[in-house]
Structure 1
């Protein structure tokens, strides 16, 4: 899928910064940080980039991935995500050698029974190890 089609599917105008951010993430094939995007797109204004990422999260194009260093990263959502609702209850894998973080869409976060009075708003599952490329 290309960037313009993704933007159109989420009723967003196709601007250069929006296309560039999506294309960068598509090409990386892994979760990326705000800093990664800034380095790849040095012409992008920092505030515009923050707003773009926030819009993409809100519209269901991206979801946040937290890694073991508490760095917020972004990964593309599946086609079943949309504005106001994410279906990203899947595990993430971080390679300890190359430090790439990827979504494991086929690995669901298990349901956890919480004590009375507690309610879950989100959950993260990060699996650490060695990826196929580094094995």
Structure 2
């Protein structure tokens, strides 16, 4: 039943962003929402092997353009994608939160609940986006290191 509720939520999300409700789009949304970390396209390809690479790329691009997902880079420079908060929209992301890169498991976490400090730029600078990264050990890897 929860899967059905998720599908209704995802169908509404696609409708709000003027995207067709296709099975591959719904599967990508379901897969991304089931994870607590950002996900790279190669990772998605490995678990969604019935969706070809070009189709997956187009889905991720459309989702990013519409404000459904945002892109964050890991320590190796690989693009990872995470679901946006509900206040993102087409052409205007509000993903100004801390991105944590675990140096052990290589997962990227969006820490949405962290309060970011105010950033005062010099006169004449007009910010369009902020990206803040931290790296270290995630809670899972930190516990392993203590043992």
Q: TM-score, normalised by structure 1?
A: 0.87
Structure 1: where are the runs of 5+ without partners? none
Q: Which has the higher contact order (CA 8 A, sep 6+)?
A: 1
Structure with the higher helix share, 1 or 2: 2
Does residue 133 of structure 1 match 2:136?
A: no
Does residue 70 of structure 1 match 2:82?
A: no
Q: Which has the larger radius of gyration?
A: 2
Between the aligned partners of 1:119 and 1:85, the Cα distance in structure 2 is: 15
The corresponding residue for 1:97 is 104
Structure 2: where are the runs of 5+ without partners? none
- CA separation of 1:123/1:73 partners in 2, compared to 1, >3 Å: closer, same or farther? same
- CA separation of 1:72/1:108 partners in 2, compared to 1, >3 Å: closer, same or farther? farther
RMSD, aligned α-carbons: 1.9
Between the aligned partners of 1:131 and 1:81, the Cα distance in structure 2 is: 26
Between the aligned partners of 2:128 and 2:94, the Cα distance in structure 1 is: 13
Structure with the higher strand share, 1 or 2: 1
- Which of 109, 124, 131 is residue 124 of structure 1 equivalent to? 131
- Which of 6, 13, 16 is residue 6 of structure 1 equivalent to? 13
The corresponding residue for 1:21 is 28
Q: TM-score, normalised by structure 2?
A: 0.81
Count matched residues: 135
The worse-fitting range, judged by mean Cα deviation, of 48-57 and 114-123 is 114-123
Between the aligned partners of 2:87 and 2:124, the Cα distance in structure 1 is: 31
Q: State the Cα deviation string for residues 79-102 of structure 1 (Å, max 9, x = none).
A: 111112111111111222222111
